[in-house]
Amino acid sequence: MFFGFKKKSADQGGPPQPGLFGDFHLRELINSGGMADIWLATDKENHTFALRRLHDNLRFDFTARKRFLRGCEILSKIHDHDCVIGYFGHGKIDGALYLLMEYVEGSNLKLMYAEHDPVLLENVGNIIIDMATGLEHVHESGFMHLDFKPENVLVTRNASVRVADFDLALPIPAKPEKLAKNPGTPAYMAPEQLLREPVDHRADIFAFGVAAYELLTNYKPFPGEQPAEILANQLNRALFISPRQHNPDLPAALERVILRCLEREPNARYAFMSLVVQDLKAALYV
């Protein structure tokens, strides 16, 4: 398993076969998502990369192209960090947009969690600190991720973390702003996102709290199949179960960090991810 995904089966139809793509050789399909295929690729010097290519049927989809290119450009500005996926370039070959990234041998946190991967189980504290550190770097670089979730956090076999997928990322506004559109994953969205209220980087802090809660307890803090159900559970905390009720072995200080990230009101959350990282390290004696 590479780059955190399972290979798409042949009966699903879709992507082109391995072969040449400009100066690159597409070796193996790693994943095919809603917007793009990700390939294990090599160049003429046999260097290995993960190459992400926009689906051919989206070549003339303005919104998809804009998101893809925005994610490439943002990654080019912020990738120089141990906890963010590496960037090598992006462009167009034969009309197809592509992004050349670091090749990561490992998995994403969503799969690791589902498979009870021992790398996650044995390193969960450090992984949570490192994914917070990666998100801190994104914010300090001037951007909010807006789709932070376990699926977008890659972990190598030696438990190194890489935050990935910046298609929905935007510059952090001087004050909270209402988003023109509201894509993302409802289970990890902050209440202000689901309510279509103005947002800033503190929506990511909420998403981080959801992800950390899930990794440490095996439950989502605000369950629901539909956005309205998730939002109702966020707004009415009568049925909310604290992390230590699920997992009594969690340090109380760690629970306090998660609960503060999950506050309904943005002003009640941490103001900055740097403070989250600081408190996580203190809670876990790092």
**CA 145 – CA 51 distance, rounded (Å):** 21
pLDDT greater at residue 92 or residue 7 = 92
Question: Mind listing the pLDDT tens digit for each residue in 155-197?
Answer: 999 999 999 999 999 999 999 999 988 778 999 999 999 999 9
**CA 48 – CA 31 distance, rounded (Å):** 16
Q: Which domains does the chain have, with CATH numbers?
A: 10-101 (3.30.200.20), 107-283 (1.10.510.10)
Q: Which pLDDT belongs to residue 16? A: 61
- On whether the CB atoms of residues 22 and 93 are closer than 8 A, the answer is yes
Q: What is the pTM (predicted TM-score) of this model?
A: 0.91
- On whether the CB atoms of residues 206 and 190 are closer than 8 A, the answer is yes
Question: Mind listing the pLDDT tens digit for each residue in 256-283?
Answer: 999 999 999 999 999 999 999 999 999 9
Q: Which pLDDT belongs to residue 106? A: 87
Structure tokens that stand for 251 in this block: 């340090």
Question: Mind listing the pLDDT tens digit for each residue in 6-33?
Answer: 343 333 445 468 899 999 999 999 888 8
